[in-house]
Amino acid sequence: MLKRAMDIAEAALAAASPQAASEGFFAALTDIGASYLQTRLYRRPLTPLTSAAHFAAGGIVSRVAPESWREGSPAFDYVCFENNPLLEAIRGGMTRYRFSDFAPREVSGYGSYWEAMSEAGIADAVCATSYGRHRTIASLHLGFRDPDLSPEDALAIQLAGLMLTERLMTFAAPPGADEVRLTHRERDALAWVAEGKSDWEISVILGCAETTVRFHVDNARRKLGAVNRAQAVARLAAARLL
Q: Which domains does the chain have, with CATH numbers?
A: 2-172 (3.30.450.80), 184-238 (1.10.10.10)
Per-residue pLDDT at 3 exceeds 60: yes
Q: Report helix angle 199-206 to 184-194, nearest 10.
A: 130
Quickly list H helices, 132-183: 151-172
Mean pLDDT in residue range 123-134 = 91
Does residue 123 carry a pLDDT above 90?
yes
What pLDDT shows up at residue 234?
82
Question: Percent helix, strand, coil in the chain (nearest 5)?
Answer: 55, 15, 30
Give the model confidence (pLDDT) of 49-90 as tens digits: 899 888 888 999 999 999 988 888 999 999 999 999 999 998
Q: Is 205 exposed, middle or buried (0-12, 13-18, 19+ CB in 10 A)?
A: middle
The yes-or-no verdict on residue 132 having pLDDT over 70 is yes
Confidence of residue 179 (pLDDT cuts 50, 70, 90): low
Residues 62 and 156: their CA atoms lie apart, in Å, by 21
CA distances to 97, 138, 213 from 129, rounded to whole Å, are 9, 6, 26
3-class DSSP assignment, residue 135: helix
Q: In this model, does residue 174 exceed pLDDT 60?
A: no
Q: Which of the residue ranges 40-44, 84-88, 173-177 would you say has the lowest mean pLDDT? A: 173-177
DSSP-H helix ranges across 15-150:
18-27, 51-56, 74-77, 87-91, 99-102, 111-118
Ramachandran class of 133: left when φ > 0, alpha when ψ lies in -120 to 50, beta otherwise: beta
| pLDDT(242) > 80 | no
Q: Is the pLDDT of residue 48 over 90?
A: no
pLDDT at 96: 92
- Residue 1 banded pLDDT, cuts 50, 70, 90: confident
Supply the Cα-derived Rg of the chain in whole angstroms.
18
**What's the predicted TM-score (pTM) here?**
0.76
Counting other chains too, the contacts that 110-115 makes at CB distance below 8 Å and 24 or more residues apart are 110/83, 110/85, 112/78, 112/83, 113/78, 113/79, 113/83, 113/85, 115/75
Q: Which helix (H) or strand (E) holds 60?
A: strand 60-64
Residue-wise pLDDT for 186-238, tens only, equals 888 888 888 888 999 999 988 989 899 999 999 888 888 888 888 888 877 77
pLDDT at 4 over 50: yes
Cα separations in angstroms, 71 against 67, 76, 139, 230: 11, 6, 19, 33
How confident is the prediction for the chain on average, in pLDDT?
88
H-helix or E-strand spanning residue 184? helix 184-194
